[in-house]
Amino acid sequence: MEYTGHIEQLLNLNSQLTAMQKAELKEHLILYINDLLLHDFNKLVQILYKIDVNEQRLKELLQANPQTDAAVIIADLLIQRQQEKIKTKEVFNSTNDIAEEDKW
């Protein structure tokens, strides 16, 4: 299975996605993550590192939710992390609206 496009879609996630698009993305990510868990764990680790998912938070969630599919937890964290990056970017972009004469 080839899911590279879903990771690219995740990396390009923006606040304009509808709830339905986000749900669809999550479902595709879950399938992809399950495939990586079974066949290419190293690639999954690389993706988690690239997206900067908090390793400690992941471990805590996996331990606290042993009946939950690990791929669901990982997909939620990936999406959550990308949404955090979007919010941070929006904050910094809004602070860039400073008049040129007021900038240092």
pTM for the predicted model, two decimal places: 0.75
Total of domains in the chain? 1
Q: H/E element holding 96? A: none
Q: What percent of the chain has pLDDT over 70?
A: 73
**CB neighbour list of residue 31: distance below 8 Å, 6 or more residues apart:** 1, 3, 71
User: pLDDT tens-digit profile of 40-58?
Assistant: 999 999 999 999 999 999 9
Instruction: Work out the angle at residue 28's Cα, subtended by the Cα atoms of residues 53 and 31, and round it to the nearest 5 degrees.
Output: 85
Which residues form the domain of 44? 4-95
Decide if 71 is inside a domain: yes
Decide if 85 is inside a domain: yes
Decide if 60 is inside a domain: yes
Decide if 104 is inside a domain: no
Residue with tokens 């990771």: 7
pLDDT for residue 12 is more than 70: no
pLDDT for residue 14 is more than 90: no
Decide if 10 is inside a domain: yes
Decide if 100 is inside a domain: no
- Give one DSSP letter per residue of 1-23, joined into a string: ---HHHHHHHHT--TT--HHHHH
